[in-house]
Amino acid sequence: AQTVTQSQPEMSVQEAETVTLSCTYDTSESDYYLFWYKQPPSRQMILVIRQEAYKQQNATENRFSVNFQKAAKSFSLKISDSQLGDAAMYFCAPMDSNYQLIWGAGTKLIIKP
């Protein structure tokens, strides 16, 4: 079975600083998508960023970027210039060949003002 490991249950960062959330996964697929979702206290699940596994270039969305290491099956999320609104649970979720998301347990991100 495919698994996702988010080894940091909780992370905290000073406002305006940079933080990296880690994620490793296990898959036998060769071509797949990977996602980071954030879930603020409202519990709305919001897509942060998407990576296609066949692309070597790391995805970037404004202050959010990923470090995708396919061979190592690692997919970390970097948040630059952290803002108070970034406080949330962050979930790493690779997608399998059936277009099913495999979810990690999440990392709680705390932003210190």
Partner 1 sequence: DTGVSQNPRHKITKRGQNVTFRCDPISEHNRLYWYRQTLGQGPEFLTYFQNEAQLEKSRLLSDRFSAERPKGSFSTLEIQRTEQGDSAMYLCASRGQGGEKLFFGSGTQLSVL
By CB under 8 A, name the binding residues for partner 1: 4, 33, 35, 37, 42-47, 50, 91, 93, 95, 98-101, 103-106
Dihedral sign computed on CA atoms, order 19, 24, 30, 34: negative
Q: Considering the complex, what minimum distance in angstroms separates the CB of residue 101 from partner 1?
A: 7
Indicate the residue among 16 and 110 with the shorter CB distance to partner 1: 110
Angle CA 7–12–15, to nearest 5:
140
Residue type at position 37: Y
DSSP label at 101? B
Q: Considering the complex, what minimum distance in angstroms separates the CB of residue 43 from partner 1?
A: 5
Q: Considering the complex, what minimum distance in angstroms separates the CB of residue 9 from partner 1?
A: 9
